[in-house]
Structure 1
């Protein structure tokens, strides 16, 4: 079982990631949604965990893994929030190279 200090660290990382993600989204498009706080927090925790592996991962590989993690979490969240719950938080269906209107290549690499 993880000790209390690790849980605190993950909580702080989750809160920082969630807040920063929402602030970036607000500065970029003028609004956000609570689901983006959860996505940002989860992404931040998972990305920070890449340094916890017993072997060293190069920075370039960490960046690629991070991009794939974020895109995957965005896809899962989009399917739940936008398709199943019909909240229509975002829609990439008009973008080239989109998948189900929930993720697109342009958003994944910028």
Structure 2
């Protein structure tokens, strides 16, 4: 199938060889997700400065990724209780913390944090105490992500309320 105008062409491998396909890049969603990542980066960096007294640039990246995942989870879990959303958010944020911890602290040896002295830690990157804090942080953050969605995408937010 030939490419349509205003699309970005790409190629992919299918079972029987190299087949071109077209994918429309949705700039509206790209802007939305970039804004959400920026809010998460700034917000988490501010929380980290309030909690620890300092932050690291890698935590801004983790905050952006984490808030984007919470934003998408809140969207996907529309109609679920806040407790369910916070439990999912806790799992997501703990996973982000673990992945960033392994990459930043173990592979890149930046030594941004070390939970090895905390009970129940996994490789010194995550621990039950901070997992609980992630759950508590999700209590205000999940409703905040809905508010962000209403501001960024009023038409989509209204259509979700009607559904």
TM-score range (shorter-chain normalised) is over 0.9
Is contact 2:115-2:121 (8 Å) kept?
yes
Is contact 2:104-2:111 (8 Å) kept?
yes
For the residue of structure 2 that corresponds to 1:45, the secondary structure is helix
The structure with the largest alpha-carbon Rg is: 2
Query: Going by fraction, where is helix more abundant, 1 or 2?
Result: 1
Query: Going by fraction, where is strand more abundant, 1 or 2?
Result: 2
Match in the other structure for 1:58: 81
TM-score by length of 1: 0.92
Of residues 129, 152, 160 in structure 2, which corresponds to 1:106?
129
Supply the distance in 2 between the matched residues of 1:77 and 1:54 (Cα, whole angstroms). Answer: 25
Match in the other structure for 2:110: 87
TM-score by length of 2: 0.64
Structure 1 gaps of 5+ residues are none
Structure 1 runs (4+) greater than 3 angstroms displaced: none
Structure 2 gaps of 5+ residues are 1-23, 134-163
For the pair 1:7 / 2:30, whether they are aligned, the reply is yes
